[in-house]
C-alpha cells in the first residue's frame, strides 16, 4: 500500500537527516524511533510502516552523501545545520508590498506567561522588517482576558525582549483602547454585522454542527435593547455574548458566528474590575492592527482559518486592512514551545520556575548561557517559511557556539572523579592558557603534585597504556584497582612529553586544587508525548579552584565536556557541547 504523502515525506526527511549526520548512512532503527517521536499517533500501527521505512532508508543509503544533502536541502532546508550559514550573517527576504519608511509591524503577546523562543521568533522577524524598511515596531500587550493576565507577565515579556535586544518604537496595551474597541463592537451590532446571543454553549455547539442559525440571530428586533443590557450589566457572565454574523454553514468553521465579546468578571491587571465586556482576540486584533497603522501583520500559521474573519470584521466596519503574513510556529522535538503547555508544568509542580533550564523560555536560555545574538541569527536563518518540520535544536546550538567559543575560557572539569597516582611525578607549578588563541583571556597557575583526578569515563584503560594529561605530560598506566567492575583508582608513571596521535588525551584536575561542581544538564522534556522524568540530570564532579574566582553568569568551556554557565556557588548549567 502506498504511504500517505505527508508520512512518506516525513520519513524521507528523517532518514536523510539521519544519513547526512552519519556520513551518508542512515540507520533504520534510529529513523523509526525518530518517526514515532514526531508522530506518536502512528505508534500503534508502526508495524505496518516498518517495511516501507526500511525500504526508504535503503534507497537513501544508495545515494551519495552529496545527493542526500541536496535532496534534504530541497525537502527541508531548515534541517541542515549549514556550516556556511552559521559562518555568515543570514538575512530575511524582502517583504511583500513594503514601502521604505512606511512599514509598521507589531508583536502582540498576551501577558499570560513568560516569553519563549517562539515569541523571540515572532518579535525578531517583526523587528527585522521594521528596521529593514526604516519603519516602526509596536509592542502591543494583547491583554483582553483579566482571568489570565498578570503584571508579572507584562514585566517578564519586557525583560525578555530587552535581553534579546528587541527595541519597540511604541509600547501599548490592547486594554488601553478598550472603550474604542467596545464602540466598534456596538457599531457592528448596529450595522447588523453582529448580534447579541443568549443561547447556551450546548445549543450553539449543536447548531454549529448542523450548520443552522439560532433564534437570537434570526430575530433582530431585540438586538439593540440586548446590546444595551449587555453593556449596562443586566446580564451575568455566560448569559450573553456578541457573535459575528457569519455563516453557520460555512466550510470554514471559524466563520460560523464566532464570539466577538464575552462577559468576564475579574480583576484586570491594568483596568481592575470596571470593564466586564471583553473582546476576544478575533475581534481585538484586526481593530487594533488597523487603528495602530500596522501595514504588515505577521502571525503564526495556526490562525490561518481565522484570516477570513479578520478581514470580514474590517470590511464590515469599513476599516483599513493590513497585509497578513504567516510563518510556521517554532517547535523543537520534545520541548514545548508554548505558554499553554509550559504553564501546567509549573502549576503541577513538575517544574519549579519559568527559568528552569529544560524550558524554551528566554529566561531559561539566558540562564543556560545562550546569547541573544545567536538566537537572532538562528531565527533569521529559519526565515518566514510555512515549513511544518521542526528545526534541529543543534542548529541553535551551532549559532551559539560560534559566538561563545572565541570568548569562553577553557577549563578542566572531571566528571565522576577517579584518583590517578603518578608515581614519582615531581611537584611543580604549571601555567595554563585560558584560551588557545585569545591571550586577553589570561592564564592560570596550578600547583600539581603526583595526585590527580581523571573522569571515570576515561578509565577504560589497560596496564601498559599511555595517555596524555592535556597540557601536562604523558603517563604510562601501571596499575588499575577495580571493585565490582568499577575503577577505584589508577596508578601510572611519567612517560615523557612528546604527544603521540594515538594516545587518549584527557583532562585532569590536581588533587590539591579541586572545586566541587555539579552541572545541571537539561535533556528533552518529553519523549514522544510522555514527560521525561530524567529530564534534568545532575552531573557531579570536580573542577579547578580557579573556578571559585569566576562570577556567576560566566560561561566557560570545559574541555571535552562542553560549555557551561556558572549559575550559583558550586552549580553550573550545561549549555551545549
Q: Does 108 bind ligand ATP (CB under 6 A)?
A: yes
Nearest distance from residue 305's CB to ligand ATP, in Å?
14
Give the residue closest to Mg ion by C-beta. Answer: 110
> What is the C-alpha separation between 110 and 462, in angstroms, rounded?
60
Q: Does 300 bind ligand ATP (CB under 6 A)?
A: yes
Q: Which is nearer to ligand ATP, 73 or 110 (CB)?
A: 110
Q: Does 362 bind ligand ATP (CB under 6 A)?
A: no
* Cβ–Cβ under 8 Å, residues 415 and 540: yes
Q: Does 282 bind ligand ATP (CB under 6 A)?
A: no
- CA-based nearest residue to 340, from 41, 116, 37: 116
Helix (H) or strand (E) holding 448: strand 443-448
Return left, alpha or beta for 25; rule: phi > 0 is left, psi -120 to 50 is alpha, else beta. beta
Strand partners, 262: 241, 278
Furthest CA-CA distance within the chain: 102
3-state SS assignment for residue 402: helix
Question: Which residues have CB under 8 Å from 440's CB, separation 6+?
Answer: none
Provide φ and ψ at 93, rounded to 5°. Answer: -70, 165
> What is the C-alpha separation between 555 and 369, in angstroms, rounded?
6
The site map against Mg ion for 90-129 (x = CB under 5 A) is: --------------------x-------------------
Q: Does 337 bind ligand ATP (CB under 6 A)?
A: yes
Q: Report which DSSP code applies to 551.
A: P
> What is the C-alpha separation between 518 and 293, in angstroms, rounded?
52
Q: Which is nearer to Mg ion, 282 or 373 (CB)?
A: 282
Judged by beta carbon distances under 5 to 8 A according to partner kind, the member of ligand ATP, Mg ion, none in contact with residue 109 is ligand ATP
Q: Which is nearer to Mg ion, 329 or 476 (CB)?
A: 329
Q: Quick one: which of 12, 17, 34, 119 contacts ligand ATP (CB under 6 A)?
A: 119
Q: Which is nearer to Mg ion, 300 or 478 (CB)?
A: 300
Question: Which residues have CB under 8 Å from 269's CB, separation 6+?
Answer: 111, 143, 146, 149, 150, 151, 154
3-state SS assignment for residue 61: helix
Q: Report which DSSP code applies to 89.
A: P
Nearest distance from residue 342's CB to ligand ATP, in Å?
7
Q: Quick one: which of 61, 280, 338, 491 contacts ligand ATP (CB under 6 A)?
A: 338
Q: Quick one: which of 26, 49, 122, 359 contacts ligand ATP (CB under 6 A)?
A: 122
> What is the C-alpha separation between 190 and 299, in angstroms, rounded?
30
Q: Which is nearer to Mg ion, 148 or 270 (CB)?
A: 148
* Cβ–Cβ under 8 Å, residues 195 and 211: no
Q: Which is nearer to ligand ATP, 336 or 541 (CB)?
A: 336
Q: Report which DSSP code applies to 440.
A: G
Could you tell me how many residues of this chain bind ligand ATP (CB under 6 A)? 16
The count of other CB atoms within 10 Å of the CB of residue 554 is 15
- CA-based nearest residue to 126, from 300, 286, 332: 300
Judged by beta carbon distances under 5 to 8 A according to partner kind, the member of ligand ATP, Mg ion, none in contact with residue 121 is ligand ATP
Helix (H) or strand (E) holding 369: none
Q: Quick one: which of 8, 52, 73, 110 contacts ligand ATP (CB under 6 A)?
A: 110
Could you tell me how many residues of this chain bind Mg ion (CB under 5 A)? 1
Q: Which is nearer to Mg ion, 110 or 466 (CB)?
A: 110
Provide φ and ψ at 248, rounded to 5°. Answer: -65, -15
Q: Does 21 bind Mg ion (CB under 5 A)?
A: no
Provide φ and ψ at 555, rounded to 5°. Answer: -100, 130
Task: Select from 38-46, 113-121, 191-199, 210-218 the region that touches ligand ATP (CB under 6 A).
Answer: 113-121
Task: Select from 18-26, 118-126, 381-389, 542-550 the region that touches ligand ATP (CB under 6 A).
Answer: 118-126
Judged by beta carbon distances under 5 to 8 A according to partner kind, the member of ligand ATP, Mg ion, none in contact with residue 337 is ligand ATP
Q: Quick one: which of 109, 146, 369, 541 contacts ligand ATP (CB under 6 A)?
A: 109
Q: Which is nearer to ligand ATP, 34 or 299 (CB)?
A: 299
Q: Which is nearer to ligand ATP, 104 or 564 (CB)?
A: 104
Provide φ and ψ at 235, rounded to 5°. Answer: -100, 150
Judged by beta carbon distances under 5 to 8 A according to partner kind, the member of ligand ATP, Mg ion, none in contact with residue 70 is none
> What is the C-alpha separation between 220 and 147, in angstroms, rounded?
31
Nearest distance from residue 321's CB to Mg ion, in Å?
21
Q: Does 330 bind ligand ATP (CB under 6 A)?
A: yes
> What is the C-alpha separation between 182 and 277, in angstroms, rounded?
8
Q: Does 331 bind Mg ion (CB under 5 A)?
A: no
Q: Does 121 bind ligand ATP (CB under 6 A)?
A: yes
The site map against ligand ATP for 130-149 (x = CB under 6 A) is: ------------x-------
Which residues of this chain interact with ligand ATP, rule CB under 6 A? Answer: 108-110, 118-119, 121-122, 142, 299-300, 329-330, 337-340
Which residues of this chain interact with Mg ion, rule CB under 5 A? Answer: 110
Amino acid at each position: 500500500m502506498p504511504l500517505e504523502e505527508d508520512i512518506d515525506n516525513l520519513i524521507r526527511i528523517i532518514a536523510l537527516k539521519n544519513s547526512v549526520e552519519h556520513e551518508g548512512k542512515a540507520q533504520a532503527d534510529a529513523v523509526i524511533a525518530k518517526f514515532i517521536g514526531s508522530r506518536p499517533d502512528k505508534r500503534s500501527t508502526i508495524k505496518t510502516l516498518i517495511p516501507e521505512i526500511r525500504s526508504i532508508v535503503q534507497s537513501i543509503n544508495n545515494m551519495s552523501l552529496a545527493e542526500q544533502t541536496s535532496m534534504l536541502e530541497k525537502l527541508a532546508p531548515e534541517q541542515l545545520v549549514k556550516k556556511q550559514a552559521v559562518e555568515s550573517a543570514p538575512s530575511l527576504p524582502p517583504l511583500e508590498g513594503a514601502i521604505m519608511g512606511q512599514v509598521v509591524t507589531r508583536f502582540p503577546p498576551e501577558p499570560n506567561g513568560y516569553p519563549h523562543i517562539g515569541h523571540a521568533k515572532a518579535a525578531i522577524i517583526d523587528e527585522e522588517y521594521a528596521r529593514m524598511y526604516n519603519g516602526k515596531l509596536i509592542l502591543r500587550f494583547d491583554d483582553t482576558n483579566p482571568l489570565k493576565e498578570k503584571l508579572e507577565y507584562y514585566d517578564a515579556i519586557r525583560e525578555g525582549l530587552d535581553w534579546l535586544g528587541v527595541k519597540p518604537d511604541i509600547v501599548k496595551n490592547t486594554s488601553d483602547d478598550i472603550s474604542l474597541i467596545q464602540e466598534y463592537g456596538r457599531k457592528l451590532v448596529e450595522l447588523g454585522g453582529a448580534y447579541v446571543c443568549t443561547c447556551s454553549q450546548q445549543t450553539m455547539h449543536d447548531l454549529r454542527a448542523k450548520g443552522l442559525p439560532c433564534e437570537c440571530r434570526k430575530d433582530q428586533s431585540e438586538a439593540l435593547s440586548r446590546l444595551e443590557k449587555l453593556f449596562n450589566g443586566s446580564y451575568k457572565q455566560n448569559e450573553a455574548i456578541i457573535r459575528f454574523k457569519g455563516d453557520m454553514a460555512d466550510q470554514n468553521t471559524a466563520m460560523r458566528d464566532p464570539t466577538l465579546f464575552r462577559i468576564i468578571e475579574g480583576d484586570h491587571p491594568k483596568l481592575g474590575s470596571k470593564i466586564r465586556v471583553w473582546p476576544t482576540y478575533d475581534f481585538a486584533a484586526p481593530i487594533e492592527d488597523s487603528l495602530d497603522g500596522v501595514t504588515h501583520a505577521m502571525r503564526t500559521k495556526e490562525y490561518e482559518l481565522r484570516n477570513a474573519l479578520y478581514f470580514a470584521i474590517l470590511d464590515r466596519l469599513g476599516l483599513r486592512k493590513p497585509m497578513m503574513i504567516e510563518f510556521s510556529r517554532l517547535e523543537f522535538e520534545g520541548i514545548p514551545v508554548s505558554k499553554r503547555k509550559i504553564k501546567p508544568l509549573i502549576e503541577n509542580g513538575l517544574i519549579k520556575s519559568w527559568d528552569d533550564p529544560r524550558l524554551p523560555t528566554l529566561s531559561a536560555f539566558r540562564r543556560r548561557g545562550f546569547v541573544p545574538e545567536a538566537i537572532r541569527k538562528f531565527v533569521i536563518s529559519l526565515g518566514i517559511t510555512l515549513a511544518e518540520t521542526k528545526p534541529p535544536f543543534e542548529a541553535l546550538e551551532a549559532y551559539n557556539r560560534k559566538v561563545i567559543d572565541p570568548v569562553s575560557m577553557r577549563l578542566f572539569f572531571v566528571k565522576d572523579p577517579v584518583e590517578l597516582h603518578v608515581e614519582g611525578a615531581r611537584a611543580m607549578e604549571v601555567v595554563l592558557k585560558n584560551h588557545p588563541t585569545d591571550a586577553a583571556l589570561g592564564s592560570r597557575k596550578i600547583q600539581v603534585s603526583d595526585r590527580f583526578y581523571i573522569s571515570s569515563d576515561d578509565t577504560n584503560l589497560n596496564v601498559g597504556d599511555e595517555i596524555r594529561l592535556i597540557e601536562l605530560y604523558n603517563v604510562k598506566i601501571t596499575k588499575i584497582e577495580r571493585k565490582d567492575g568499577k575503577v577505584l583508582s589508577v596508578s601510572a608513571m611519567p612517560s615523557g612529553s612528546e604527544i603521540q596521535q594515538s594516545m587518549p588525551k584527557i583532562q585532569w584536575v590536581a588533587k590539591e586544587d579541586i572545586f566541587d561542581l555539579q552541572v545541571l544538564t537539561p535533556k528533552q522534556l518529553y519523549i514522544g508525548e510522555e514527560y521525561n522524568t530524567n529530564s534534568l540530570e545532575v552531573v557531579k564532579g570536580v573542577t579547578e579552584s580557579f573556578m571559585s574566582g569566576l562570577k556567576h553568569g560566566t560561561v566557560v568551556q570545559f574541555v571535552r565536556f562542553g560549555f557551561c554557565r556558572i549559575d550559583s556557588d558550586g552549580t553550573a548549567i550545561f549549555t551545549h557541547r
